[in-house]
Structure 1
Amino acid sequence: MVLKHNMLAMAIASVCFGMCGAAYAATAPAAGPQQSTQDQAPTTSAEQSKKDEKDKHKTQMQAVEVNGFISSIENSTALKRNASTIVEAVSAEQVGKLPGVSIADTLGRLPGLAVQTLNGRPQVLTIHGLGPDFSTALVNGGQQVSTSNNRDVQFDQYPSSWFDNVVVHLSPSANLIGQGLSGTVDMHTIRPLEKSGPEAAVNAKYIWNSMSELAPGKGVSNKGYNLNGVWVNQFADHTVGVTLGVDLENNPTQIQHQGPWGYPSDSNGDAVIGGSKNFGITDSMKRNGALATVQWQPNEHYTGTIDLTYDNFKEVQQAKGMEFPLWWSSAQLQPGGVVIPDPHVSGGGFVQSGTYANVTPVIRNDYNSTSAGVTNFNWENKFTINENWTINANANYSRATRRDVNLESYSGTGYNKTGATDTVGFNELGNGMLFLNPSLDYTNGVVLTDPQGWGAGSDVVQAGFINAPRTVDSLANVRIAVERSFASGPFSSMEFGVSNSRRNKSYHIDQSFLTLGGGTISGGSAVTTAAIQGGSSCDPLSWMGVGSQLCYNPFALIGNGSLANVPTFGSNTGTPPDWKTHENVFTPYVQFNIDTQLGGVSLRGNFGIQAQRTSQRASGERVAPDSATTGNNIVLIPVTGSTSYTRYLPSANLIFGFTDNDDLRVSAARTLARPRMDQMNAGLGVSGDNSHLQSTDPNQAYFSAKGGNPKLRPTMADNFNVSYEHYFSGGNSYQCNSADQKNSDLCRSGGGGYFSVSGYFIGLHDYINPNASFLYDFSPFLPFKLSAQQLPLLGTPYGIVTGPTNDGRGYVKGLQGTLNLPFNLIAQPLDGFGVILTGNRTKSSLVYPGNPTPITVPGLSKWVANATLYYQHNGFEARISDNYRSNFLGEVSGISATRVEQTLRGGSSYDAQVSYTFDSGSLKGLTLIAQGSNLSNKIFTTFQNNDPRQVQTWERYGRTYSLGASYKFQ
């Protein structure tokens, strides 16, 4: 709370500081090349002025090529200033080099945006408080598929070296195909014919983590590298251009992980830790990516562009640790623990420290891997018929495949709680970590087994488990657009066109138990323990007070027959989880682009409408009634569902230019977010819980079911944005040549600093309620895994079916302020220094039928703040950044690679970079770079019941450092 208030105070003070600087800049003579560029701009005819203005507002904007972090800021400012909608933007410092640790990290610093990390790396975006389900991503205008089992684009799948700039549309326009509800991230690769000449650069980094390897093993390390290169050239009198890029990467992460089971009430009504799953994890993510672009412009009437990107990555985790069953086991909580009052529970407390006796730990040697490939193809054709008519015909294709292997391997001192028991002390630390103090040595007397008897209900000795989900996602789109330009009148042009896209996604999961070879599964002759071959002592949990344990390679034990696969039906996720979805979206649109004067105020922008006609179909499986006789002999039958709908999406963007440096932007639009792919599935997972066999309460019954809804409609929103922007004069440190003045946003309008304040309101309706429920009679499914002895004990055949429906409503609203201030606007001796500050305050409310109490929209942080202080002079460059966000409801990995929502604890994350570029001599073009990220060693925490002490996930990743060199060929 103190940090939040300090940052807010800093932001307010900086805004005042920036206004003073702006006043100074307004009264001082406008200096430097920017002023001379504007003064020397030739007077053009009305027709030429319209054509220039039309070029300025193309969806894919260009930026002049100058080097260094300041040039990136200035290019980004120019992209923002010249856009015909409300946008945020980031531009490359030089060819193949976006600022920041990754593209996700870079986007997370933009105003109104925040990132969520996974495995220590920034991955998905939140825009204006709405999570990744509500935004979309484009590459060169082509909508992107996802490697997750949903639609959310995971931005760590894109090498940052590919992109020249990224524009985030916070307000849509009718000609923006593939737009998101909260925003659209449009990533642009390098266009070779838009460069004035050949360019090439290579970048290399050596990366290491501050922690030593927590869980050594094949495929992982605490050291890594990144090597990328980009080459751009033009041929045949600048009529043919080629861009080639390659990215080779190995990013290491160390993860100290705790997953508490929950916090039941003890005999005194006090919340106490119920158990905890703890790992030391060593993670390595290896990527190989390639980029190719070919442009052909034989004459002024035709430009053709083909883009191809391919990215293949594999992430491997060695996870070794121990699981401590406590309250929810045969362990006994001893009297005498320390209890502190719980302000969140009337009359209750929280057991901060104590001791459990009769504890039977489960030693874990797990392995997780993700293999994914993403391919993008884009073919763009622009025909200039004459000075008034142009036609664009585009085709793009995006495909992602992913396969996961999540292997769990269990060992202990005996089968089903018959081995040695331990006395374990525990202490809940102030930072949320659970500190344990077991007394036994877990390197001796350890065998492969089912220490807790988890497989007893399935007639197996469960010595492990394997989840192996896989997804395939593909999207093909064709689009034709026609633009008619006008030489006079209020409209600069009119655009109309049509787009058609087809998307297919499938999800399949294989699941199996790992049991012990050499005996039958049931009948009393199953092998209950087996010796471990090739094990050794390791210390993956020393950071939380746990001593050494036996570590081994589970794949070697599968290979020699010690562990054997036994397929299981449904398991943790119900029956069954597989599904397929298909979407066809037909989108005609029309848009009018505005460029006129209202007295002494200029007015530009656009208004128009999209009509989206969607046909969707989903398939899955469900259990056939009366198919179960005994055990797991259950028959699945296919299930399909479909629907069609049309949504009209009007939009308007108006930009009032009160002076050359002051703009007021107003936007209103209707937007939509399509349902999650996993929520659209037609399958129904039926589960039976033996612990509730005799319950007569349908809410706590043996039967329950969960499924999707293939007739789901999109969440709709009425999106309103207003932004006032003041751009400071001067501040540029370079001259623009004549070619740049024609093609570059930076040279057209300048890229000095700016101050902006904005507000937004997003009214949500048809919001998808993921957990709507109704009562259902499961009698036709009997006996469903129940034996003849169990059937008479069944309390009720009724149970609850849950699934998503379109019955939620709510809103998101917020205020945002940004100050981008080069200090030379205040005093020339401060040239090279600058600061970027942004603060965002968001409020939301979401209501579902039957529950009048509003909840916060998932993914929303009330406070998001970013600050960057930088300095650049004579080749030397340094900057430090702080990214802060308050608590929010986000998505994390759950059972069987599903995604579950948990409250994530906010906080600050710092990173810094220092570099030096040689501007002359034999080393000209060489840059040496030192960089550090997560310098605060931020702890990633999720919690429940609005109580930060009731931790659900606790992780710490260590600091990541890199030393590198970048060489730009002159």
Structure 2
Amino acid sequence: MKSRYLLGALMMSSCLVAPGMAAAQAQGEVDEVVITGQRATDRDSLEKKREATSASEIVSGGEAGKLPDQNVAESVRRLSGVSVATDKGEGRYLIIRGIEPNLANVTINAQTASAPEPESRNVKLDDIPSALIGSVQVVKSLTPDLDANAIAGQVDIKTVTAFDRNRTILNARAAVGGFEITDENAYEGDFSAGTLFGPDKSFGVVVALNWSERPSDSEDVLSGGRQTVGGVDLPVEFDNRVYTPALRTRTGAVVNLDWRPTDDIKAYARVMYSKFDDNEVRNRTRFFLPTSAASYSSLSEDGGTFTGGASARKLLRVRNEITDTTTIAIGGEFNIGESLLTLQATHNLATKEDPIRDEIEYRYNNTSGGGPITGSFGNQDGMPGGVTLSANAYNPAGYRLRSFKQVSREAEEDLNQIRIDYQMPLSVLGDDSYLKFGAKWLDRDKFTDATGEVFMYTGPTRTLTSEVGETYGDTFGGKYLAGPSISYSKVNAFFKANPGLFDSDDDDQIVETLGSDYRVQETITAAYLMANLDFGDISVIPGVRVERTEGDTRAIAVTPTATLADDYNRFGSYSYTDVFPGLNLRWDVSENILVRAAITTAIGRPEYFQLAPTVAVDGDDVSLGNPDLKPQQALNLDFSLDYYFPDEGGFSVGLFHKKIDNPIFASTLEDQTGTFGGVSIVNGDVFSFQNGTEAEVTGLELNFQKPFTFLPGALDGFGVNLNATFLNGKLKVPGRSKETSLPKQSDMLLSAQLYYEKAGFSARVAYTYRSDYIDELGATADEDLYFGENQTIGVKAAYKVTKQLEVFAEGNNLNDETDYYFYGNRHRFAEAETYGRSWRVGLSFTY
């Protein structure tokens, strides 16, 4: 099998040599032909995919920078079956095959990555700059040597090493960019250098640095839910949010050290650091529509005019989030005779701090505002039409100071792991046959701790006139008017100078300080046994993995008797052992045709905040965590057919089906009677989490990749990369008679890239599309929150001034896509956010 694969690879390589060079190569005058650019990176990714044991998609490091990718998530989103959950127009979490992000296992250099998010197991991929990666592999069909906590699949991020290039490398890049929605500019740069040195060049070192700074401005409007007034379905409010000039700063560094004194020893140390500093100023103007039909002079499905009964608020939030992630790994590969021993130890520390999360509120008063607010609005299909309000709605004298909330928060995940793998040949069964076994120990300590206080203003009437900030005009092309904003510096100065005019709300302080505090300590011990049985053109990979999960949880009860001095007083634990059998098959039908099939199993452990034994009692309403949640279990079926063109490129067809037992849901149980956190409740509503029965998703994946080298003259510089995924999911939600799709599961994903490379010039246009998906399940189908369909267009053009120096320009979101959310169906607007087009220009140097 291996000889056939090598023959195919040589055929693909030979077709890349110009005719004049072919003869010289045959005569021994040329030792190596190096091909760069898009064709080279595409070919590298395709060859790695072809060589992979199981079904995988791969992005090479060079490919990641070919489009305006801000981070790793955006670099990977163009692969088949992959989409992203976004924030402010930037990719944040990967959604693989329609499965929510917390069910994907993210690893860095083959070891589990830590998750800085306070609530979940999600690994934020917008923290990792794309410039720092060597490659990213999305494994869709697991083998037993991989962690089982990967129902969606595994995402392995590899950082570049000096031995990858086997020569001295020096790369630098600098760029400046702009954003349509703001006058602020973005700046970024990265630098990497590496070399081999020492006796026989047995030592290697690579240092890579990255820094970027970009505005995070956007315009956002929310409905605040839906209401029925006079038989007409209306938004509850128009919550107009303007995010003023604030910055997102990324800093990253990689240091990779390698030592290879002989062919039998490969030792290494890896250090990766990333910091994401997100500053945000959010101005909110909330207009609440009247709830009585008597307040309307006209009201229909097209909109309405109201003469009173509306209310309004002005709010300002100033927030700073700082995420730090450090990964340190040591290990090596050691040949022992014909066997291979692999050892690896890794320490991951992820922290997320919100040193400031302050919010100020003013409320409209008819007396100081000059009377009730009147106006009109549209209630059109999709995003509502314009909102027109009376002038007093924008009069700062009508808004009275109500509260000043100060909150800070810290979350941390300390993750330590050790793994050992041993592979020994089974040459009696075939040249590439082997037996492999190993073990892994993972210890996780996760906590979140918040401190908050709400200060209610109790002094004489104080209006926004005294602390008015900048006045904002229309948003969304004139549909909504924001009006005057709040000056944080003025309010903060007044608060500090007059502390006696504010009273702390004890109940709110307890909720803000204790309500989200918890700690989860979890240990996973795993062992596996697998084999690769080589029967010439067919390889069979059977195996089994066993994982033992043990965890302890603790939280603080928030009840009417709780005090700020309370420590952890709610405890839970869980333990279970799972067996994961799996079978992968690979059949090299011919030099150009490859078939893969697999039956595998996987697990999805509950999110941290779901496991934490939190309890909060507010009147007759109770919120509970559930340490007794069962993990989700999946049975996965995969089949794929790959065809590789005799020259370059190829296409593939993939089918998969996942059956998931014990899916986890947020649930609300009504009319519950019992004791919760020591408080007796009669006929109350209890919000918690529970396991359902089953879910399933079936999908078809299509890929096509081809450079048009067969075209004459200058046209042979064109090429395309195309892929499409079609998904059908079914989820049985407790209490519902009809099935629904899975949260985060789109029915269709598309990605198309057209590129051109010739004579030092390169250009690339990329289009991505995903259909809508359920973002959050509601109490009923009508209350399910959907993220609407989304499509983006990005371009990049570059020209090599010299062999080493390149100038480039690029643009993103050229179609000015707006993120759109709705309840139940697209007519029932929930939220819309726009962040505009963006561009970058820069220089890169490669040696």
TM-score by length of 2: 0.90
Q: Deviations over 1:681-733 (max 9, x none)?
A: 11112122xxxxxxxxxxxxxx1212111122210000011000001121xxx
Matching residue of 2:624: 707
Q: Which of 728, 732, 745 is equivalent to 1:860?
A: 745
Q: Does 1:266 align with 2:221?
A: no
Q: 1:88 to 1:768 in 2, by over 3 A?
A: same
Residue 441 of structure 1: how far off its partner (Å) = 5.5
Structure 2 spans left out of the alignment, 5+ residues: 1-10, 27-31
Q: Does 1:681 align with 2:631?
A: no
Distance 1:178 1:157 in 2: 24
Q: Which of 167, 190, 194 is equivalent to 2:137?
A: 167
Q: Does 1:231 align with 2:193?
A: yes
Q: Does 1:649 align with 2:580?
A: yes
Q: Which of 529, 532, 543 is equivalent to 1:593?
A: 532
Native 8 Å contact 1:331 1:360 kept in 2: no
Matching residue of 1:322: 285
Distance 1:663 1:963 in 2: 41
Distance 1:836 1:910 in 2: 14
Q: Which of 763, 767, 771 is equivalent to 2:659?
A: 763
Distance 1:540 1:193 in 2: 56
Q: Does 1:398 align with 2:348?
A: yes
Residue aligned with 2:297, SS = coil
Matching residue of 2:127: 157
Superposition pairs of residues 40-55 of structure 1, within 5 angstroms: none
Distance 1:855 1:30 in 2: 51
Distance 1:465 1:419 in 2: 28
Residue aligned with 2:41, SS = helix
Native 8 Å contact 2:84 2:93 kept in 1: yes
Distance 1:417 1:154 in 2: 46
Distance 2:368 2:151 in 1: 52
Residue 175 of structure 1: how far off its partner (Å) = 1.1
Give the letter aligned to residue 287 of structure 1: R
Q: 1:333 to 1:305 in 2, by over 3 A?
A: farther
Distance 1:647 1:418 in 2: 64
Native 8 Å contact 2:671 2:682 kept in 1: no
Q: Which of 387, 408, 428 is equivalent to 2:379?
A: 428
Distance 1:682 1:285 in 2: 34
Q: Does 1:549 align with 2:489?
A: no
Compare 572-581 and 714-723 and name the one that shifted more.
572-581
Q: Deviations over 1:848-880 (max 9, x none)?
A: 444342121101000111111111111111111
Residue aligned with 1:504, SS = strand
Superposition pairs of residues 734-749 of structure 1, within 5 angstroms: none
Residue 603 of structure 1: how far off its partner (Å) = 1.1
Distance 1:913 1:380 in 2: 39
Distance 2:672 2:103 in 1: 32
Compare 79-88 and 408-417 and name the one that shifted more.
408-417
Q: Does 1:503 align with 2:444?
A: yes
Q: Does 1:313 align with 2:251?
A: no
Q: Does 1:100 align with 2:72?
A: no
Q: 1:672 to 1:145 in 2, by over 3 A?
A: same
Matching residue of 1:698: none
Distance 1:933 1:917 in 2: 22
Q: Which of 809, 812, 829 is equivalent to 1:933?
A: 812
Matching residue of 2:240: 278
**Higher normalized strand content (fraction of residues):** 2
Give the letter aligned to residue 133 of structure 1: N
Q: Does 1:878 align with 2:763?
A: yes
Native 8 Å contact 1:280 1:320 kept in 2: yes
Give the letter aligned to residue 511 of structure 1: G
- Residue identity over aligned pairs, in percent, reads 21
Residue aligned with 1:659, SS = coil
Distance 2:228 2:394 in 1: 33
Q: 1:924 to 1:579 in 2, by over 3 A?
A: same
Native 8 Å contact 1:447 1:529 kept in 2: no
Residue 637 of structure 1: how far off its partner (Å) = 6.2
Residue aligned with 1:937, SS = coil
Matching residue of 1:124: 93
Give the letter aligned to residue 162 of structure 1: L
Matching residue of 1:207: 177
Matching residue of 2:517: 578
Q: Does 1:144 align with 2:113?
A: yes
Q: Deviations over 1:120-153 (max 9, x none)?
A: 2111111111110210111101111222220111
Distance 2:777 2:78 in 1: 22
Residue aligned with 2:226, SS = coil
Q: Which of 916, 923, 933 is equivalent to 2:799?
A: 916
Q: Does 1:559 align with 2:499?
A: no
Residue aligned with 2:836, SS = coil
Q: 1:637 to 1:129 in 2, by over 3 A?
A: closer
Residue 392 of structure 1: how far off its partner (Å) = 1.0
Distance 2:666 2:309 in 1: 40
Give the letter aligned to residue 938 of structure 1: E
Distance 2:429 2:676 in 1: 71
Q: 1:912 to 1:463 in 2, by over 3 A?
A: same
Q: Which of 419, 438, 449 is equivalent to 1:479?
A: 419
Distance 1:271 1:419 in 2: 30
Q: 1:728 to 1:439 in 2, by over 3 A?
A: same
Distance 1:428 1:468 in 2: 39
Native 8 Å contact 1:397 1:477 kept in 2: yes
Native 8 Å contact 2:451 2:513 kept in 1: no
Distance 1:66 1:566 in 2: 67
Give the letter aligned to residue 196 of structure 2: Q
Q: Does 1:303 align with 2:266?
A: yes
Native 8 Å contact 1:438 1:546 kept in 2: no
Residue aligned with 1:967, SS = strand
Native 8 Å contact 1:332 1:356 kept in 2: no
TM-score by length of 1: 0.79
- Alignment length, in residue pairs? 815
Compare 756-765 and 283-292 and name the one that shifted more.
283-292
Matching residue of 2:553: 618
Matching residue of 2:405: 465
Matching residue of 2:57: 88
Structure 1 spans left out of the alignment, 5+ residues: 1-26, 42-62, 214-221, 340-349, 451-461, 520-525, 689-702, 731-751, 785-795, 894-899
Superposition pairs of residues 769-788 of structure 1, within 5 angstroms: 769-771=665-667, 773=669, 776-777=672-673
Matching residue of 2:29: none
Q: Does 1:515 align with 2:447?
A: no
Distance 2:208 2:614 in 1: 43
Residue 352 of structure 1: how far off its partner (Å) = 3.2
Residue 245 of structure 1: how far off its partner (Å) = 1.0
Distance 1:154 1:633 in 2: 32
Matching residue of 2:829: 951
Q: Which of 684, 694, 712 is equivalent to 1:809?
A: 694
Distance 1:710 1:157 in 2: 30
Compare 833-842 and 312-321 and name the one that shifted more.
312-321
Give the letter aligned to residue 706 of structure 2: L
Residue aligned with 1:74, SS = helix
Q: Which of 903, 912, 915 is equivalent to 2:786?
A: 903
Q: Does 1:569 align with 2:569?
A: no
Distance 1:533 1:589 in 2: 68
Distance 2:441 2:52 in 1: 26
Distance 1:683 1:65 in 2: 59
Residue aligned with 1:463, SS = strand
Q: 1:446 to 1:70 in 2, by over 3 A?
A: farther
Give the letter aligned to residue 545 of structure 2: Q
Residue 892 of structure 1: how far off its partner (Å) = 12
Distance 1:549 1:130 in 2: 41
Native 8 Å contact 1:65 1:94 kept in 2: no
Native 8 Å contact 1:272 1:351 kept in 2: no
Distance 1:782 1:492 in 2: 61
Q: Deviations over 1:453-511 (max 9, x none)?
A: xxxxxxxxx42434433311121100111111233414621111110001111122333
Distance 1:603 1:828 in 2: 41
Distance 1:606 1:827 in 2: 45
Native 8 Å contact 2:315 2:486 kept in 1: no
Native 8 Å contact 2:54 2:139 kept in 1: yes
Pairwise CA RMSD: 3.2
Native 8 Å contact 2:68 2:810 kept in 1: no
Give the letter aligned to residue 488 of structure 2: P
Distance 1:257 1:568 in 2: 32
